[in-house]
Amino acid sequence: MVQHRFLGNSGLKVSEITLGNWVTHGSQVDDEAAIATVHAALDAGITTFDTADVYANTKAEAVLGRALAGQRRESLEIFTKVFFPTGPKGPNDAGLSRKHIFESINGSLRRLGTDYIELYQAHRYDNETPLEETMQAFADVVRQGKALYIGVSEWTAEQLRDGHELARQLGFQLISNQPQYSMLWRVIEDRVIPMSEELGISQIVWSPMAQGVLSGKYLPGQPLPTGSRANDTKNGAAELIQGFLRDDVLEAVQRLRPIAEEAGLTMPQLAIAWVLQNPNVASALVGASRPEQLAETVKASGVTLDSGTLVAIDTALGGAVYADPEATYTASPARRPS
């Protein structure tokens, strides 16, 4: 069964594997398959579910709400996010203004079919709204009981520091950050993780398999697999994966195969177990379009990789690893998207 970890400097425990529904629910798979996948996650011991209002333009939240209907609410940790435009995408339908935060949380709760969520996350940093306004709105969301905790996604070390200090002054906790992190994408290691450790903030990492590249199914010099994420132009996944599809990267990934076999793991299990070796990582976000995909994925929970395996991974990947901390400063747009 999936193990649990504390999220940041809080008493909230989350499952080491979180089921996310970015490119699946309400878009890539039909609702019946999505609901069956959520139920398979519950059967495997996953209690933590992550979504966002922008996923499939609010449909993903609605599907997750239907999938969790009838479950014991106290046994779940439901996360969602606010920032990107939804609805008709009017001038106030995006960002982290007080207006958008309150309209978004109310819509999310309605679609999810719940009175509250465990974690409400700023999906990016809003450079056009004063941070004081954003954090005051989050404080009020917490005081109204609509969210128990506040997190962020893809904030820089400095933004985390400033947000954490304002949260402390306003009497609530900023307990998590949701960045991209994998064997191939390590940009948070230099500044974000040290700052987070100092502040008591955990990482909930997305794309631990580098958009599926670390599964080993993409082969150098070969056509892209039919139906793969690299061919999915609807949700932006194909764009995100492009940087990992160079032959030198794919060749390096294939060198991980014997390492995984030696450790008694599949390639996806090795990738997820690797991010969970970092003590600042509370949970790895995974997606699934079919229930059976989770059966193997969840076996990465509780795995300890010895030092020899970790060194072998670094040696195999070599120059394919991207770790420039400056990349954390380009994750949030200069202006609100529309």
Delimit the domains of the chain by residue range.
4-330
CA distance 149 to 245: 37
In the residue annotation, 55 being an active-site residue is answered as yes
Fold of 4-330: TIM Barrel (3.20.20)
Predicted confidence at residue 3, as pLDDT, reads 97
Closest listed residue to residue 184, CA positions, set 67, 276, 274, 79? 274
> Residues of the chain with pLDDT > 70: what percent?
95
Predicted confidence at residue 289, as pLDDT, reads 83
**Catalytic choice (55, 125, 149, 181):** 55
Helix-strand-coil split of the chain, %, nearest 5: 45, 15, 40
74 pLDDT more than 90:
yes
Mean pLDDT of 238-246: 86
Output the six-digit token pair for 142. 């917490």
Contact criterion met (CB below 8 Å) for 28 and 232:
yes
Q: Residue type at 200?
A: G
Where residue 225 falls among pLDDT bands split at 50, 70, 90?
A: confident
- Which letter, b or e, does each residue of 113-138 get, where b requires 16 or more Cβ atoms within 10 Å of its Cβ? bbebbbbbbbbbbbeebebeebbbbb
